[in-house]
């Protein structure tokens, strides 16, 4: 089979797709090129489906060091575990392509996207998404939709489609939308703070403006996917036959549960606590099995559990759609009760225990200097980059009652931490010094733990006295729809996430949205539903922010917070503070047990210490040094005689204090015409001495005695 080359120019991207050239034993593969970036996307399927009721899809985005003409750093000279950018990109592709598979498709599928050649000007997430979609669509797997990724930026109120990486650096908006046709499947968005006329702008987006920008993205996606479907048709492989799990549904057992246990299931669903609900459903399952065995029928525990789960889902959805009743009795737009404790950990710089319903996050803030930042590399960057604001999210098994040992952070942990960072970072001071690390320990989880991380994180920053412009709150929205009626849910719990049709996380201040992440389990979301979700989320966000403001007003300061003072000095004072050989600054550090950081670019001094007294003592010491007038060196007249004072006698000469206070060396060879072997027999420290200036170059002065010239 000969290779097929398809070139497409759409949405400011000039893409080249080559099919049937490489990886021809895979279910589908494409060699994708844009600029100097070359990616290989390959899809493989296991012919045997799994018994569990889920789609075992694995996506791996891999960057090879050779793609950027590099050899991996470190002891092991080959690629090892994926970096954070690779993991987050894999997660974006997974969330976008998963909804395309037919319902009941349970065959293991692996999609691999490998960067073979890098281009520092190319957006690797957009290109990886488009390459993966093309490989899947043209494969022999029965997926008949193609998606397109579009990134939007905003510079000077102008919305840009697929801006270059340089344009992205200057953009106040980073919005990535993936969809098919007019349907949106996945959204990732954050704003970037900027400075306008020396005033920092958070750049939140109001809901109406955000909807308008998403509409622009929808138009671009529809244009691209229409082009892809038309052009890729000739490269599409013949589909393999698959058996969908939906065909195995036991209608008779489902009907038996519906006819005899509807009240019991409804009661179990409406149990207030997550653990109570689980216990009640297990009781219902046991009752069903006992009833079947009493009738002399075989009771397959796995099948009963599966049909009970299916019926439970229908009950949850029916209660919401037909009666506007949620499992915990809340109204559709009601937020669960919130409790907040700030600075409950005595030895931590800042801490917040944020509890919302049965979701609880303990978020801590730790302050460090610039050396504490996290270094990392991107495939297109020539130098190491540094992350000075980190949000780390941990999800231990006990938070959901599971006996699981702690393991390294997975994709979910990295994704939730990244969302928290994107939501909070726009409120941080752009000119801040040092490093800030937030750690969110999820102690209890029943939905929306990432949004609890944002709320707790914003308060922990305030508790650690980190300068932030505004408080940020987060809320997770859900959706239940039957195709005709739509019910948008505020602050969803785990049951509603599992049995619903959307997971839409939104963070923002009182003035607008700072970040959001949306995943749709349907084929897409309509514009009016998205609008309703955004405005209902705003109502919930403002409610949460009011509670956070109240908690902040009663906050007690942390005892562990280090004292700090920062002030500006004149550049001429820096040498005096440092002292000869660093002696003066070492003396201050040792005497007051502080850290001192002098920034020569901004002429600022930052002092950090364990106590306020130590910091104030160190500052007073420095004030004494810089309050002494700085003497300017004289410009001496050559061959003129001056009177100096002997400060020190050494083997090779004497250090003479000049009239302006500067020290100059009188070399032993310039004392007399005849050779002098021992100056200590001729002079004493503190004696006045006449000297003649032979030459001056800046601060360096060459001296001699009158006797030398005789």
The secondary structure of 15-74 as a DSSP string is EEEEESSS-TTSSEEEEEEETTEEEEEEEEE-SS--SSSS--EEEEEEE-GGGGT----S
- The phi and psi torsions of 266 (rounded to 5 degrees) equal -60, -40
Q: What is the pLDDT of residue 80?
A: 85
Task: Report how far residue 482's alpha carbon sits from residue 321's, in angstroms, rounded to the nearest whole number.
Answer: 8
Neighbours of 253 (CB within 10 A): 21
Q: Of 276 and 363, which is predicted with more confidence?
A: 363
pLDDT digits (tens, 9 = 90+) for 337-350: 999 999 999 999 99
In which region does residue 74 sit, left (phi positive, over 0), alpha (psi from -120 to 50) or beta (all else)? left
Q: How far is CA 248 from CA 51, 103, 251, 255, 292, in A?
A: 11, 12, 9, 15, 20
Inter-residue contact 490 to 499 (CB < 8 Å): no
Task: Give the right CATH number for 249-323 from 1.10.10.400, 3.40.50.300, 1.20.1050.10, 3.90.180.10.
Answer: 1.10.10.400
Per domain, the residue ranges of the chain are: 4-164+203-235, 249-323, 346-552, 563-627, 641-709
Q: Of 433 and 253, which is predicted with more confidence?
A: 253
pLDDT digits (tens, 9 = 90+) for 122-131: 999 999 999 9
**What's the CATH fold of domain 563-627?**
Ribosomal Protein S8; Chain: A, domain 1 (3.30.1370)
**What's the CATH fold of domain 641-709?**
OB fold (Dihydrolipoamide Acetyltransferase, E2P) (2.40.50)
Q: What is the pLDDT of residue 4?
A: 94
Name residue 604's beta-bridge partners. Answer: 568, 599
Task: Report how far residue 646's alpha carbon sits from residue 649's, in angstroms, rounded to the nearest whole number.
Answer: 7
How high is the mean pLDDT of the chain? 90
Inter-residue contact 389 to 470 (CB < 8 Å): no
The secondary structure of 434-471 as a DSSP string is SEEEEEEEEEE-SS-HHHHHHHHHHHHHHHTT--BSS-
Q: What is the pLDDT of residue 126?
A: 97
Neighbours of 630 (CB within 10 A): 10
Task: Report how far residue 62's alpha carbon sits from residue 416's, in angstroms, rounded to the nearest whole number.
Answer: 21
E strand or H helix at 122: none
Banded pLDDT at 393 (limits 50, 70, 90): very high
Q: Region 402-424: what's the mean pLDDT?
A: 92
Q: What angle do CA 605, 609, 611 make, to 5 degrees?
A: 130
At the fourth CATH level, the homologous superfamily of domain 4-164+203-235 is GHMP Kinase, N-terminal domain (3.30.230.70)
The secondary structure of 512-532 as a DSSP string is EEEEEEEEESSS---HHHHHH
Is-same-fold flag (4-164+203-235; 346-552)? yes
Inter-residue contact 13 to 162 (CB < 8 Å): yes
pLDDT digits (tens, 9 = 90+) for 414-423: 999 999 999 9
Name residue 643's beta-bridge partners. Answer: 690
Q: Region 19-28: what's the mean pLDDT?
A: 96
Task: Let me know if 391 is exposed, middle or buried by CB neighbors in 10 A (0-12, 13-18, 19+).
Answer: buried
- The phi and psi torsions of 103 (rounded to 5 degrees) equal -60, 135
Q: What is the pLDDT of residue 94?
A: 96
Q: How far is CA 224 from CA 179, 180, 218, 228, in A?
A: 10, 9, 10, 6
**Proportion of the chain above pLDDT 90, given as a percent:** 55
Half-sphere exposure of 567 (CA within 13 A, CB side): 14
Q: Region 197-214: what's the mean pLDDT?
A: 91
Q: Of 684 and 710, which is predicted with more confidence?
A: 684
pLDDT > 60? residue 195:
yes
Q: What is the pLDDT of residue 611?
A: 80
Report helix angle 449-463 to 411-424, nearest 10.
50
Task: Report how far residue 372's alpha carbon sits from residue 471's, in angstroms, rounded to the nearest whole number.
Answer: 25
Neighbours of 577 (CB within 10 A): 17
pLDDT > 70? residue 631:
no
> Between the ranges 245-254, 278-287, 361-370, where is the mean pLDDT highest?
361-370
Q: What is the pLDDT of residue 249?
A: 65
CATH class of 346-552: alpha beta
Inter-residue contact 657 to 648 (CB < 8 Å): no
Inter-residue contact 35 to 69 (CB < 8 Å): no
Q: Of 661 and 29, which is predicted with more confidence?
A: 29
pLDDT > 70? residue 496:
yes
pLDDT > 60? residue 247:
no
Banded pLDDT at 632 (limits 50, 70, 90): low
The secondary structure of 678-706 as a DSSP string is -GGGT--TT-EEEEEEEEEETTEEEEE-H
Q: What is the pLDDT of residue 634?
A: 77
Instruction: Out of 76-80, 440-444, 674-678, pick the least confident.
Output: 674-678
Banded pLDDT at 1 (limits 50, 70, 90): low
Banded pLDDT at 486 (limits 50, 70, 90): very high
Give CA 317 to chain center in angstroms: 34
Task: Report how far residue 361's alpha carbon sits from residue 444's, in angstroms, rounded to the nearest whole number.
Answer: 7
Q: What is the pLDDT of residue 92?
A: 96
Task: Report how far residue 587's alpha carbon sits from residue 578's, in angstroms, rounded to the nearest whole number.
Answer: 10
Q: Of 42 and 650, which is predicted with more confidence?
A: 42
pLDDT > 60? residue 362:
yes
pLDDT > 70? residue 286:
yes
Banded pLDDT at 677 (limits 50, 70, 90): confident
pLDDT > 90? residue 179:
yes
E strand or H helix at 416: helix 411-424
Q: What is the pLDDT of residue 235?
A: 95
Q: Region 140-166: what's the mean pLDDT?
A: 94
Q: Region 607-627: what's the mean pLDDT?
A: 85
- The phi and psi torsions of 512 (rounded to 5 degrees) equal 160, -175
pLDDT > 60? residue 630:
no
Task: Report how far residue 317's alpha carbon sits from residue 311's, in angstroms, rounded to the nearest whole number.
Answer: 10
Q: Region 258-287: what's the mean pLDDT?
A: 84
Sequence-ordered list of residues with C-beta below 8 angstroms from that of 398, at least 6 positions apart, any chain: none
* Alpha helices, DSSP H, located in 77-137: 84-97, 124-137
pLDDT > 90? residue 67:
yes
pLDDT digits (tens, 9 = 90+) for 307-325: 888 899 999 999 999 989 8
Banded pLDDT at 225 (limits 50, 70, 90): very high
């Amino acid at each position: 089979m000969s290779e097929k080359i398809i070139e497409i120019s759409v949405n400011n991207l000039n893409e080249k797709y080559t099919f049937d050239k490489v990886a021809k034993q895979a279910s589908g593969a494409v060699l994708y090129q844009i600029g100097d970036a070359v990616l290989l996307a390959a899809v493989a399927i296991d012919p045997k489906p799994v018994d569990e009721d889920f789609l075992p899809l694995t996506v791996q985005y891999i960057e090879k060091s050779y793609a950027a003409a590099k050899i991996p750093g470190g002891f092991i000279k080959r690629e090892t575990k994926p970096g954070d950018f690779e993991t987050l990109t894999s997660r974006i592709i997974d969330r976008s392509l998963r909804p395309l598979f037919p319902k009941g498709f349970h065959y293991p599928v692996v999609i691999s996207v490998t960067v073979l050649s890098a281009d520092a000007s190319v957006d690797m997430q957009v290109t990886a998404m488009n390459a993966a979609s093309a490989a899947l669509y043209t494969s022999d797997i029965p997926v008949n939709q193609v998606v397109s990724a579009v990134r939007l930026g905003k510079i000077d109120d102008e919305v840009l489609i697929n801006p270059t990486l340089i344009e992205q650096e200057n953009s106040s908006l980073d919005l990535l939308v993936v969809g098919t046709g007019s349907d949106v499947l996945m959204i990732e968005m954050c704003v970037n703070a900027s400075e306008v006329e020396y005033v920092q702008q958070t750049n939140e987006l109001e809901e109406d403006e955000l909807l308008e920008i998403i509409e622009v993205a929808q138009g671009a996606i529809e244009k691209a996917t229409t082009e892809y479907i038309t052009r890729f048709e000739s490269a599409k492989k013949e589909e393999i036959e698959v058996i969908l799990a939906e065909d195995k549904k036991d209608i008779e057992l489902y009907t038996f549960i519906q006819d005899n246990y509807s009240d019991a299931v409804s009661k179990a669903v409406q149990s207030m606590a997550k653990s109570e609900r689980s216990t009640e459903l297990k009781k219902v399952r046991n009752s069903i099995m006992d009833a079947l065995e009493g009738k002399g029928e075989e009771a397959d525990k796995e099948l009963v559990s599966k049909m009970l789960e299916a019926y439970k889902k229908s009950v949850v959805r029916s209660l919401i759609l037909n009666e506007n009743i949620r499992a915990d009795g809340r109204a559709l737009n009601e937020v669960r009760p919130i409790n907040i404790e700030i600075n409950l950990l005595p030895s931590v710089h800042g801490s917040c225990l944020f509890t919302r319903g049965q979701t609880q996050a303990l978020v801590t803030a730790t302050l460090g200097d610039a050396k504490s930042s996290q270094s990392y590399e991107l495939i297109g960057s020539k130098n190491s980059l540094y992350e000075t604001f980190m949000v780390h999210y941990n999800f231990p098994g006990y938070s959901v009652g599971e006996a699981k040992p702690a393991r390294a952070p997975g994709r979910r942990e990295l994704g939730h931490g990244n969302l928290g960072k994107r939501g909070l970072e726009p409120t941080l001071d752009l000119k801040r010094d040092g490093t800030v690390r937030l750690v969110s320990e999820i102690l209890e989880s029943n939905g929306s733990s990432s949004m609890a991380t944002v709320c707790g994180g914003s308060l922990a920053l305030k508790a650690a006295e980190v300068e932030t412009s505004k408080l940020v709150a987060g809320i997770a929205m859900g959706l239940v729809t039957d195709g005709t009626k739509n019910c948008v849910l505020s602050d969803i719990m785990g049951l509603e996430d599992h049995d619903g049709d959307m997971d839409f996380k939104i963070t923002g201040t009182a003035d607008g949205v700072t970040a959001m992440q949306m995943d749709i389990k349907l084929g897409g979301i309509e514009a009016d539903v998205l609008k309703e979700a955004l405005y209902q989320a705003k109502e919930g966000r403002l409610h949460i922010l009011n509670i956070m403001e109240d908690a902040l007003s009663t906050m007690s300061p942390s005892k562990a917070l280090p004292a700090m003072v920062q002030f500006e000095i004149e550049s001429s004072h820096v040498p005096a503070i440092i002292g000869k050989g660093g002696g003066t600054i070492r003396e201050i550090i040792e005497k007051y047990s502080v850290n001192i950081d002098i920034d020569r670019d901004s002429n600022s001094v930052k002092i950090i210490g364990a106590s306020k007294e130590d910091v104030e003592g160190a500052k007073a010491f420095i004030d004494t040094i810089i309050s002494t007038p700085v003497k300017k060196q004289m410009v001496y007249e050559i061959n003129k005689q001056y009177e100096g004072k002997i400060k020190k006698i050494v083997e090779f000469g004497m250090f003479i204090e000049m009239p302006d206070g500067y020290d100059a060396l009188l070399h032993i060879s310039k004392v007399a015409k005849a050779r002098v072997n021992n100056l200590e027999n001729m002079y004493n420290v503190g004696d006045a001495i006449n000297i003649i200036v032979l030459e001056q170059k800046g601060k360096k002065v060459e001296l001699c005695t009158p006797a030398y010239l005789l």
